[in-house]
Amino acid sequence: MFFSSVALLFLLQAQATAEKRLAPPVVRLWSGKAPRETREPAPTRDITKPGEGKVAGKSVFRLTPVVDPQVTVFLPPAEKATGAAVVICPGGGRHILAWDLEGSEVAEWLNTLGIAGVVLSYRVPAPAGETPWQNAVTDAQRAISLTRSRAKEWNLNPDKVAILGFSAGGEVATLTSLATARGYPASDMVDEQSCVPSAALLIYPAYLVDSKTQALLPHVKVHAKTPPTFLVHAMNDPVTPDSSLLMAQALRRAKVPFELHLFARGGHGYGLRATAEPVTGWPALAGPWLLGTLVKPTGKPSP
């Protein structure tokens, strides 16, 4: 099944679940081709086969390829809006995006907290020979700047824009929060806005650890200006919990505010869907942290 855009996918999904609501706005990140992009636009398709790869008894939209990145914007009801927003990076092993499991469902949860959810469809997979995460981080930086540039239109506070990522999307969120410079040349008024997130939530992040040295990879460099960070991992996750453990140690050494939550069981790739595993309670911990850090900070957060 092919989709001309994520907006069309959302419409189909909403129809399938009999939800009567307007489709959220979808905004392309770039007016032309994205930086370093040489491929022609290609239709994005859901590659999940019927009955395959269910999570908590429900199927998952697994989208690929994404050549023309965009954001889908879920705004909370006006009476609940806090002015905060979170750019959401779904996971998918750098090859697909788990668009509903780790994207739209997360945005809807954030809306219950009065926080806008901006689901990022970043480029996957990376073209052969390119650094696997480079284009994705570029898209994430642009998404943060874009969200801030639309603050008035979307009723947001540009100083309250966080990033959240799952698995490979957790890698994207991590590297975006650690970047000390924009990874592409500024080109327009959007890029006049900062691309540094106000906070970061890393949910079972992947690809941060060297399997041989059991240390953070050389390009994963925590520094004193890293934003406040929230981490979640299950100890039986086959995608090593060392990613979160070592990140927490580096954050502590850099004196960056953080919370680390480790659960005995939970595996990988559960998103927010309720299961019988202990890790299923992580949103009840993340919500108060996010509200306290982003919406009503008790101290001055890192820039």
Q: What is the pLDDT of residues 235-263, one digit of tens each?
A: 999 999 999 999 999 999 999 999 999 99
Helix (H) or strand (E) holding 10: helix 6-16
Q: What is the pLDDT of residues 115-149, one digit of tens each?
A: 999 999 999 999 888 999 999 999 999 999 999 99
For residues 61 and 59, give the distance between their C-alpha atoms in angstroms, rounded to a whole number. Answer: 7
Structure tokens at 28: 């392309």
**Beta carbons within 8 Å of 81's beta carbon, 6+ residues apart:** 75, 114, 116, 155
Coil, strand or helix at 11: helix
pTM: 0.91
**What pLDDT, on a 0 to 100 scale, did the predictor assign at position 53?**
87
For residues 162 and 197, give the distance between their C-alpha atoms in angstroms, rounded to a whole number. Answer: 5
| CB-CB contact of 133 with 173 (8 Å) | no
**What pLDDT, on a 0 to 100 scale, did the predictor assign at position 15?**
46
- Name residues of the chain where pLDDT drops below 50: 1-4, 11, 14-20, 298-303
Structure tokens at 133: 């995460």
- Please report how many Cα atoms fall inside a 13 Å half-sphere around the Cα of residue 248, on the Cβ side: 18
Interstrand relation of 44-46 and 85-89 (parallel, antiparallel or unpaired)? unpaired
Q: Helices 168-178 & 134-149, crossing angle to 10 degrees?
A: 70
> What count of other Cβ atoms lies within 10 Å of the Cβ of residue 285?
13
Structure tokens at 245: 């453990």
| CB-CB contact of 40 with 52 (8 Å) | no
Which domains are assigned to the chain?
25-295 (3.40.50.1820)
**What pLDDT, on a 0 to 100 scale, did the predictor assign at position 279?**
98
Q: How many angstroms from the chain centroid is the CA of residue 246?
A: 20
Average pLDDT for the chain: 92
